[in-house]
Amino acid sequence: MTDGSRPRPRPTPALLASLRKGKAALHGQRANLSLRGKVELVLELQRVCLPLIERQRRLAPWERPWQITA
């Protein structure tokens, strides 16, 4: 590195194992959700992500989320 900063240290095997274990647990929780829960999760993620995308560019009609109320 030319700016004088030191390179980041490599992650330890213990850290990587912990991250993999957490990721597997999260996938297991999501796989056990009901269909309704999975749809609600997708809609929640759309409500978070689409405004961020819309700040960069206009959304196409097919990208707009459905107005669903439960």
pLDDT at 70 over 60: no
Pseudo-torsion of CA 28, 29, 34, 35, nearest 10°? -70
* Per-residue pLDDT reduced to its tens digit, 28-67: 999 999 999 998 888 888 888 888 888 999 888 888 777 7
Q: Is 24 a member of any domain?
A: no
Is 53 a domain residue?
A: yes
pLDDT of 1: 52
Question: What is the domain extent for residue 63?
Answer: 34-70
Residue 67 maps to a domain: yes
Is the pLDDT score of 2 beyond 80?
Answer: no
Provide the number of structural domains found in the chain: 1
- Please state whether the predicted TM-score (pTM) of the whole model is above 0.75: no
Say yes or no to pLDDT of 69 above 80.
no
- Amino acid letter at 22? G
